[in-house]
């Protein structure tokens, strides 16, 4: 039952992708197909939630994939992975909804390509969050690249070429070392087991962080385990992105079309944190503890820097983009605390940030579509123009700023607890971020909702669409419900799995 | 082998060179019947040639199943390596022949180009007229399709012999059999650039052959035999001999510094010929290199160093030149040079490891590279031929021509993207697994420095492949856009089919790479040492 449902949910975007090829002349039909598919996929993934194992994992598929390399097509369902699956399905629906209004149906092939790219990303992300074989993980992880590049390149803003190339080169720069690390890990496993193994469960038992091998690179001695761990870290930290590797993010987020921003901020960044939590740290627990102070400090820098930079922006999308740097810093900080609280908070933050940032980009996209300008000063007085939308968007914005009673708060407070119990000094340092995040979100909200309206904005506002109100309100409600009852909605679900994950790190 | 003899067609499988017999037989048949046929029937000869090549492919499988053995007193090995290389080389030949069917578009321009070189200069904006629509992709007079088919098939036979030959002399003869048909093929488009490239290729090729023969004479003079197995690398003269001998092969694969002919030839040759050269000829030469590794016994360190010393500059020069290259054909040529560098990594590793380990990587890389380069050449052919300007005019062959390709043919643009992603080694395409296997071999052989060089080069390569993807999806040039739209001719069907087929193969192998690895790994266990 679980397996069938999961396969259905995963096959849906892949089939839609192929189906869209037949609609390359009919943009409207492509849009309809996409909406139906994204909605069905969300329903299927939600239904899958009833079957998520509390502890351990349900194997969805485990088949011989590449016998010559010992790689297996192994996908499993775990509670933390499921959380990300749900965010993926939700973000895709949100992105499709945004694109239905934003992308012109007149150019049929381009329209079909846009939705095909979204579904390819969705398919790959399902793979990322379930893969239990490193090669399969890497395959899924990298498949996201080209469609995301095309999304930014073709439908992006004015500086789209630059932003798309920067995104691509940064990511490839990060993932080449990951690729090499995975490959070397396979070669190392072959020395132990006789043939190569990429199954994560077996590799974790191999304890690659205890390898004593040293390599000579241009006659410089380097420990192999350090090199391998660095390879994993570099890929994931670029993706997250951790300060100071974040510079691709503001450009990519700002220039991407709304759908691209939603998917990028909502889920793509989480590939990095998910990989860090589920792959890199469990593979190299002792090294991770050794290096944790360094990365914790970087995370704190990222939190503060991201918040300050966000406050300084006068471009609505850029402001939200920099806030992502800050929020993702919290996730890294929580993970490197190696406490149950830190981990729980980090995973909730991944989900909450996915939804909150997704809906903020959706909201900004709705404004941009009418005004064709992203400057904060070009909006205003939305509170009187569209009170209902403003109200719900406000809830979402405050959830993003981690106001108590929202999911963001529930996550960040736990991360605080986790950090405070291990590195109290860092917890003090990070405290100002609370004020900073409130200040940039208040700034954003003031300019959009209360400042005197830009006359052009008022003139071009053509009334709200029902689905815009629906999605913004839905996200706001979700964030508040999870924020009020984090334990019942998320924590109690993922806690056993998180404890299992942490147990492996000790 | 005994079992094979018992069965009905068993004797066929003991004819180790059956595929080559089929290839040469088809070539002779095609070339001799051409003059008896009318223009229309003759234009179908490439298809017939492709059928013959497929038959040769089946024959190769048949002989392979009869078990590893050697024929002609051990001079020709019929084993796993031979089978793998026959599969790759003949497969490439089939695709090249299919794309060459019915389409010798450059020759059409060639006849015009010789007619009025000045005309063009004076009036650049001639209408993309209806007259040209008619002649579009039908073979004009003087371009004998049978000749094209026959030459390709003969070259194929030489190339498959290369992988099978365990004898220096046979390798030389096979290389000549493979090369000689290429010279007329390069100049098929009888343009100034084509002839220049052809002459360059011929002169350099002849010199390379001479050097190769000189190396051969050294070896024979010292050892008194022409067998690979008898070559003693410990002897300085023989080592020098084998290095000289190898440079002939390095010329064919366009390793730096033997690469100068390649960008010219790629730019000037018609797409099917370019595809054949980039895919089949390169694969065939690597087949010979692999055979030398298998049969040549333990290689000294200096030979490994020599191969590494070729691989690194080949990578850097290929990628570095492609990075700033503005002309599409040359860009493709330089990128092909860089792939030679990656392939040489596999050869270097196999010199260090047991022969089969590194050769699996080389074979996997070739199997992934061949469909990509052929598909890419077909797309380039479409792009260069399908817009109204004369593709041979200077400045008209720049990468800008890719602009607007997606709006014109969305499916081909997506196929091209898959092809480029595979060339760049991005998952989920076959190219990723190719890179993985070569890098793994280099790591296992302890070539860490070379591995780092290759990684850096992968990043460089990603940049220019992505640049081509960007061009493909950017808007068509606005100036005179409508005129261009009007003059945009329907791309030749078979180019598109071959390109689409290649893209599907690359994607399927990328998602299910077992189909790529398993046959090769199995075959490499059945080697005649």
The structure tokens 């074979």 sit at B363
CB B295 within 8 A of CB B529: yes
For A112, the closest chain B residue by CA position comes to B410
Q: Do A69 and B518 touch (CB under 8 A)?
A: no
Q: Do B513 and A179 touch (CB under 8 A)?
A: no
Q: What is the DSSP string of B149-193?
A: HHHHHHHHHHHHHHHHB-BHHHHHHHHHHHHTTHHHHHTTS-SHH
The structure tokens 């502890």 sit at A55
Which pLDDT value is given to residue B397?
A: 65
Tokens of B256: 């730096």
Which pLDDT value is given to residue B396?
A: 53
Q: Which residues of chain B are within 8 Å of residue A142 when distances are taken between CB atoms?
A: 426-428, 432
Return d(Cα B166, Cα B231) in angstroms, integer.
Answer: 11
Confidence of residue B386 (pLDDT cuts 50, 70, 90): low
Return d(Cα B400, Cα B130) in angstroms, integer.
Answer: 25
Q: Which residues of chain A are within 8 Å of residue B514 when distances are taken between CB atoms?
A: 64-68
Residues of A with CB under 8 A from a CB of B: 21, 24, 64-69, 107, 109-110, 112-113, 138-139, 142-143, 145-146, 149-150, 153-154, 161, 164-165, 168-169, 172-173, 176-177, 179-180, 183-184, 186-187, 215-218
pLDDT digits (tens, 9 = 90+) for B361-371: 999 999 999 99
pLDDT at B395 over 60: no
Confidence of residue B482 (pLDDT cuts 50, 70, 90): very low
* Closest alpha carbon to B415 in A121, A144, A141, A113: A113
Tokens of B376: 């890419």
pLDDT at B54 over 90: yes
Which pLDDT value is given to residue B340?
A: 92
Q: Do B428 and A143 touch (CB under 8 A)?
A: yes
Interface with chain B: mutation pick from A71, A127, A180, highest number of B CBs within 10 Å: A180
Which pLDDT value is given to residue B190?
A: 65
- Residues for chain B: how many in total? 529
pLDDT at B30 over 60: yes
Nearest beta carbon to residue B473 from set A150, A215, A216: A150
Q: Do A65 and B521 touch (CB under 8 A)?
A: no
pLDDT at B202 over 80: yes
Q: Do A165 and B513 touch (CB under 8 A)?
A: no
Asked if B459 is an interface residue toward chain A (Cβ–Cβ < 8 A), one would say yes
pLDDT digits (tens, 9 = 90+) for B224-237: 888 888 777 777 88
All residues at 6 or more sequence positions from B296 whose CB lies less than 8 Å from its CB, including other chains: B228, B229, B231, B233, B242
Confidence of residue B93 (pLDDT cuts 50, 70, 90): very high
Q: Which residues of chain B are within 8 Å of residue A183 when distances are taken between CB atoms?
A: 436, 439-440, 443
Nearest beta carbon to residue A168 from set B455, B466, B473: B466
Nearest beta carbon to residue B459 from set A150, A161, A173: A173
pLDDT at B219 over 70: yes
Give the distance from residue A317's alpha carbon to the nearest chain B alpha carbon, in angstroms. Answer: 24
Q: What sections of A49-107 are H helices per DSSP?
A: 79-102
Tokens of B28: 């002779």
Question: What is the β-pairing status of strands A214-217 and A220-223?
Answer: antiparallel
Return d(Cα B19, Cα B17) in angstroms, integer.
Answer: 6
Q: What is the DSSP string of A355-400?
A: HHHHHHHHHHHHHHHHH---BGGG---HHHHSHHHHHHHHHHHHHH
Greatest alpha-carbon span in chain B:
73
Residue numbers of chain A with a pLDDT score lower than 70: 216-219
Which pLDDT value is given to residue B6?
A: 37
Give the mean pLDDT of B205-209: 89
Nearest beta carbon to residue B517 from set A68, A177, A184: A68
In this structure, what is the dihedral angle of CA atoms A280, A253, B403, B103, given to the nearest 10 degrees?
A: 30
* Closest alpha carbon to B270 in B388, B392, B141, B415: B392
Lowest mean pLDDT among A233-237, A416-420, B83-87, B193-197: B193-197
Return d(Cα B238, Cα B221) in angstroms, integer.
Answer: 9
CB A71 within 8 A of CB A182: no
pLDDT digits (tens, 9 = 90+) for B280-338: 989 999 999 888 888 877 777 888 888 888 899 999 998 888 888 888 888 888 888 99
For A110, the closest chain B residue by CA position comes to B407
Give the mean pLDDT of B100-125: 44
Which pLDDT value is given to residue B120?
A: 40
CB B274 within 8 A of CB B286: no
pLDDT at B136 over 50: no
Give the CA distances from residue A24 to residues A20, A35, A156, A257, A363, in Å, rounded to whole numbers and listed in that order.
Answer: 7, 16, 21, 20, 29
Helix axes B301-323, B236-253, angle to 10 degrees: 20
pLDDT digits (tens, 9 = 90+) for B237-256: 888 888 888 888 888 888 88
Question: What is the β-pairing status of strands B69-71 and A58-66?
Answer: unpaired
Return d(Cα A470, Cα A487) in angstroms, integer.
Answer: 26
Greatest alpha-carbon span in chain A:
72
pLDDT at B114 over 50: no
For A147, the closest chain B residue by CA position comes to B417
Report angle CA A220, A221, A226 to the nearest 5 degrees: 120
**How many CB pairs (< 8 A) connect A and B?**
98
Give the mean pLDDT of B192-196: 77
* Closest alpha carbon to A246 in A289, A298, A287: A298
Nearest beta carbon to residue A172 from set B406, B462, B474: B462
Give the percent of chain B with pLDDT over 70.
82
In this structure, what is the dihedral angle of CA atoms B436, B437, B440, B446, given to the nearest 10 degrees?
A: -130
Tokens of A426: 């860092």
* Closest alpha carbon to A255 in A317, A307, A324: A317
Q: Which residues of chain B are within 8 Å of residue A180 when distances are taken between CB atoms?
A: 439, 443, 451, 455
CB A239 within 8 A of CB A271: yes
Asked if B249 is an interface residue toward chain A (Cβ–Cβ < 8 A), one would say no
pLDDT at B96 over 70: yes
């Amino acid at each position: 039952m679980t397996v069938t449902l999961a396969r259905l949910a995963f096959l849906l975007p892949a089939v839609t992708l192929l189906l869209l090829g037949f609609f390359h002349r009919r943009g409207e039909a492509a849009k309809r197909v996409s909406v139906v598919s994204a909605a069905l996929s969300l329903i299927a993934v939600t239904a899958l939630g009833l079957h998520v194992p509390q502890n351990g994992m349900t194997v969805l598929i485990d088949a011989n994939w590449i016998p010559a390399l010992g790689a297996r097509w192994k996908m499993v369902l775990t509670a933390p992975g499921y959380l990300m699956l749900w965010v993926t399905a939700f973000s895709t629906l949100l992105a499709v909804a945004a694109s239905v209004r934003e992308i012109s149906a007149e150019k049929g092939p381009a329209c079909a390509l846009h939705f095909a790219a979204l579904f390819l990303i969705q398919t790959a992300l399902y793979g990322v969050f379930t893969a239990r074989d490193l090669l399969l993980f890497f395959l899924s992880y990298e498949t996201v690249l080209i469609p995301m590049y095309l999304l930014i390149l073709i439908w992006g803003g004015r500086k789209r070429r630059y932003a798309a190339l920067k995104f691509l080169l940064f990511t490839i720069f990060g993932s080449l070392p990951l690729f090499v690390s995975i490959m070397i890990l396979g070669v190392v496993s072959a020395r132990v087991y006789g043939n190569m193994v990429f199954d994560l469960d077996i590799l974790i038992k191999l304890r690659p962080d205890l390898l004593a091998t040293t390599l000579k690179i241009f006659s410089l001695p380097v420990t192999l385990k350090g090199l391998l761990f660095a390879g994993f870290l570099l890929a994931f930290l670029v993706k997250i992105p951790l300060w100071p590797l974040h510079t691709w993010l503001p450009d990519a987020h700002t220039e991407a079309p709304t759908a691209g921003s939603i998917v990028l901020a909502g889920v793509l960044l989480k590939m990095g944190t998910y990989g860090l939590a589920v792959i890199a740290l469990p593979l190299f627990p002792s090294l991770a503890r050794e290096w944790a102070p360094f990365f914790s400090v970087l995370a704190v820098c990222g939190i503060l820097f991201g918040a300050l930079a966000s406050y300084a922006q006068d471009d609505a999308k850029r402001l939200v983009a920099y806030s992502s740097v800050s929020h993702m810093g919290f996730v890294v900080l929580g993970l490197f605390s190696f406490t149950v609280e830190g981990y729980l908070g980090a995973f909730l933050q991944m989900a909450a940030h996915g939804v909150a940032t997704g809906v903020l980009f959706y909201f900004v996209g709705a404004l941009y579509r009418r005004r064709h300008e992203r400057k904060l000063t070009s909006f205003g007085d939305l509170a009187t123009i569209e009170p209902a939308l403003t109200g719900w968007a406000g809830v979402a914005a405050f959830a993003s700023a981690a106001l108590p009673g929202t999911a963001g708060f529930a996550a960040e407070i736990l991360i605080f607890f986790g950090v405070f119990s291990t590195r109290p000094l860092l917890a003090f340092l990070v405290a100002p971020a609370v004020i900073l995040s409130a200040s940039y979100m208040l700034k954003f909200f003031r300019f959009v909702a209360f400042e005197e309206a830009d006359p052009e904005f008022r003139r071009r506002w053509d009334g709200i669409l029902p689905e815009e109100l629906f999605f913004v309100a839905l996200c706001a409600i979700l964030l508040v419900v999870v924020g009020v009852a984090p334990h019942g909605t998320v924590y109690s679900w993922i806690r056993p799995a998180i404890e299992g994950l942490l147990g492996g790190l000790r | 082998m005994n079992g094979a003899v018992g069965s009905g067609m068993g004797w066929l499988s003991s004819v180790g060179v059956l595929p080559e017999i089929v290839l040469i037989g088809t070539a002779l048949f095609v070339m001799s019947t051409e003059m008896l046929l009318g223009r229309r029937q003759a234009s179908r000869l490439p298809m017939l040639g492709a059928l013959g090549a497929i038959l040769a492919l089946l024959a190769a499988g048949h002989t392979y199943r009869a078990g590893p053995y050697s024929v002609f007193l051990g001079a020709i090995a019929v084993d796993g390596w031979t089978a793998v290389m026959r599969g790759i080389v003949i497969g490439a030949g089939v695709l090249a022949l299919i794309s060459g069917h019915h389409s010798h578009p450059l020759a059409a321009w060639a006849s015009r180009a010789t007619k009025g070189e000045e005309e063009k200069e004076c009036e650049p904006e001639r209408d993309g007229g209806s007259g040209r629509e008619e002649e579009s992709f039908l073979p004009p007079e003087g371009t004998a399709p049978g000749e094209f088919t026959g030459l390709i098939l003969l070259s194929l036979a030489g190339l498959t012999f290369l992988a099978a030959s365990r004898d220096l002399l046979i390798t030389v003869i096979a290389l000549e059999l493979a090369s000689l048909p290429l010279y007329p093929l390069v100049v098929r488009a009888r343009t100034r650039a084509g002839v220049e490239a052809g002459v360059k290729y011929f002169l350099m090729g002849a010199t390379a052959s001479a050097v190769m023969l000189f190396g051969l004479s050294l070896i024979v003079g010292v050892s008194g035999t022409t067998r690979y197995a008898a070559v003693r690398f410990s002897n300085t003269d023989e080592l020098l001999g084998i290095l000289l001998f190898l440079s002939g092969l390095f010329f064919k694969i366009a390793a730096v510094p033997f690469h100068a002919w390649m960008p010219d030839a790629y730019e000037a040759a018609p797409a099917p010929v370019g595809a054949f050269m980039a895919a089949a000829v390169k694969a065939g030469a690597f087949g010979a290199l692999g055979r030398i590794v298998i049969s040549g016994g333990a290689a000294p360190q200096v030979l490994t160093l020599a191969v590494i010393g070729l691989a690194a500059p080949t990578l850097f020069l290929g990628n570095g030149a492609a990075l700033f290259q503005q002309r599409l054909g040359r860009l493709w040529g330089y990128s092909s040079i860089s792939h030679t560098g990656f392939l040489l990594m596999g050869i270097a590793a196999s010199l260090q490891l047991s022969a089969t380990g590194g050769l699996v990587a080389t074979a996997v890389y070739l199997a992934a590279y061949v469909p990509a380069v052929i598909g890419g050449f077909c797309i380039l052919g479409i792009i260069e031929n399908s817009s109204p300007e004369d593709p041979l005019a200077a400045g008209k062959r720049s990468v800008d021509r890719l602009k607007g390709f997606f709006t014109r043919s969305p499916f081909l643009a997506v196929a091209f993207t898959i092809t480029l992603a595979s060339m760049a080694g991005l998952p989920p395409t076959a190219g990723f697994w190719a890179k993985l296997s070569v890098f793994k071999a280099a790591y296992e052989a302890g070539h860490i420095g070379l591995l780092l060089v290759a990684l850096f080069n992968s990043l460089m390569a990603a940049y220019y492949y992505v640049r081509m993807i960007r061009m493909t999806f950017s808007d068509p040039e606005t100036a005179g856009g409508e005129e261009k739209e009007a003059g945009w001719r329907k791309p030749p069907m078979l180019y598109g089919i071959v390109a689409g087929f290649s893209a599907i193969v690359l994607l399927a192998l990328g998602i299910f790479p077992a189909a790529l690895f398993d046959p090769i790994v199995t075959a490499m266990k059945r080697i005649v040492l």
